[in-house]
Structure 1
């Protein structure tokens, strides 16, 4: 909102400018490894518990990172026609 309304540029343009000028954005979450994820899943942790543990506020961001490191998203069950 600030980029568009006050700076009159896109958020992507602002992001590129910040990187070029050495402004580092601290993420509120910590990216995890496949080994860390596997260890927690073996302890019967749910996706929501793992996401919360690593500081992910948005579950979609958690699943995006999970897919990037090779964790397939479980598909929903298909409806069975009678």
Structure 2
């Protein structure tokens, strides 16, 4: 594999990451919508199962945020690598 092949492979990876990011953005919107609807549905409930479910939804939103950050960092690193290759 030569440098040109490596660049092509990395660029394809960046494109795949972009597609994954779009999927994650859809998940983020769906998670936010589900959390909002659930919050309205169980408003002011202190039932342990409700609290557990709401905590799970908040954690899902946090994981989506972390995944988005990781994706962005991966793209940055791949682009830096491409620049280093010339």
TM-score (norm 1): 0.27
Query: Relative contact order (alpha carbons < 8 A, sep ≥ 6): 1 or 2 greater?
Result: 2
